[in-house]
Structure 1
């Protein structure tokens, strides 16, 4: 079975840079992981779009998502660069589209532009963004995805909605990859998010590595694709993998095989402590990835 793989760089959000005191050295540790992935056989590197650490906000480093994406675009030459996922509430969708277009050019067409509705309430409020309940956030997200798509595909797009409007903005260049930057929508909402995937996205991210959940969400996605006349097989079906450093490579392969059987064809791995020790990531690249090529 064929499967492609991405890896998260240590960005600080998961308290994964705290053992490095100097912020410049922290950034370089993050970049070093991206460059290691760039050497192969990884398809992509990924960052989160968050400002505060988890499981609770602490006075520790969390590097900003799109700034990181733009610098990694120039610090690497081969791997694709993605966000899992950009938070819709943090940027007007027209600005999101403009930023993504710029990074796609900076990376020579290697951007995986991720977007989701957002969920980290404390972070929204701390940074002065208006927090709303789920129905309102999802309604805004629905409009935002349409705005982004228009910004990437129309010369002078117009949109007037309840949450967003644009009045013939110019977005040039729109990017390098055709017909537009690769659009990844994260989240498993069955009525809104997966329908948006079916209509607009090049890829989705569902299930959190749980085979049963992956299977269920992808069945819903297939139904939306059938209803809209979209080719389901043209959508990348990604999921996440939290690497367990205590398990063997064979056990990891077994976990990924179950994800693949559920319908996933792309795995984005988080490797604990990779800022300090590259060996588990290298072992994964040498012993796990070749099993799915």
Structure 2
């Protein structure tokens, strides 16, 4: 079994599919893989989250299928899939298919959803934060069950990443279902969330070391990298937006990873 101490530092890139033509997204994905990024993420929205709210934007899972063919080494996934947008059984089948196309490189990132414009424009019921979390709690075992029924089955146990920091409900779902937890916030916030996640793991009888810790980062690794790593976080993801996709910060984090991993 992998323990927290055994995990190497990994660097992800969230290639945000906004304000750019797809050619630029494809080129950036290829460059990131060549630079040595460990995980290439997009996100699951229908409109930009920053800049012009009506700017250029592309759909998540269609893109993951293309990345599965266009890349050869990196793991790929959504940071994160919105549970509300697809039937859980369908999502499981989509994930299994991209898993096969990629040769076993998919991470199934998922969360409860939050961006109301997506819901309103595409006809989904927004509900409340509580109802969306309840839907996620219902969906996760359905996804797990469907993955056992598919023929052919996935090439591996597809890692499930759950994003969110809700202390009573989301982190309990992480303890029950996730292989990776993704959170946000500064060092003090991350420390608090990890402590609470460990308690939820104890409550459900799970070894917390089975769950990889992941955070979104900005700025220089000199500012927070070592402190976050000392908390047991091993996956650090840099976000970049179009149209230019500046990979300068990513290069800094990759160099820091290589120094940490020796």
2:151 to 164, 169, 172: 172
1:258 lines up with 2:227 in the alignment: yes
Pairwise mapping of residues 1-293 of structure 1 onto structure 2 (< 5 A)? Answer: 2-12=8-18, 15=19, 17=20, 26-55=21-50, 58-153=53-148, 155=149, 171-177=150-156, 180-206=157-183, 208-242=184-218, 244=219, 251-271=220-240, 275-285=244-254, 287-293=255-261
Structure 2: stretches of 5+ with no match in the other structure: none
Corresponding residue for residue 168 of structure 1 = none
CA-atom RMSD in angstroms: 1.9
Corresponding residue for residue 22 of structure 1 = none
Higher relative contact order (CA 8 A, sep 6+): 2
- In structure 1, how many angstroms separate the alpha carbons of the residues matched to 2:120 and 2:77? 25
Alpha-carbon distance, 1:59 to partner: 2.7
Aligned length: 255
Contact 2:221 2:252 in 1 (8 A): no
How has the CA–CA distance of structure 1 residues 10 and 194 changed in structure 2, closer, same or farther, with 3 Å as cutoff? closer
Larger proportion of helix: 2
Q: Can you list the C-alpha shifts for 1:198-249, whole angstroms capped at 9, x where unaligned? A: 111111101x14111111111111111112221111111000012x3xxxxx
- In structure 2, how many angstroms separate the alpha carbons of the residues matched to 1:256 and 1:199? 28
How has the CA–CA distance of structure 1 residues 152 and 215 changed in structure 2, closer, same or farther, with 3 Å as cutoff? same
Q: Per the alignment, in what secondary structure is the counterpart of residue 240 of structure 1?
A: strand
TM-score in terms of structure 1 length: 0.81
Alpha-carbon distance, 1:100 to partner: 0.5
- In structure 1, how many angstroms separate the alpha carbons of the residues matched to 2:56 and 2:126? 23
- Higher Cα Rg, which structure: 1
- In structure 2, how many angstroms separate the alpha carbons of the residues matched to 1:140 and 1:103? 24
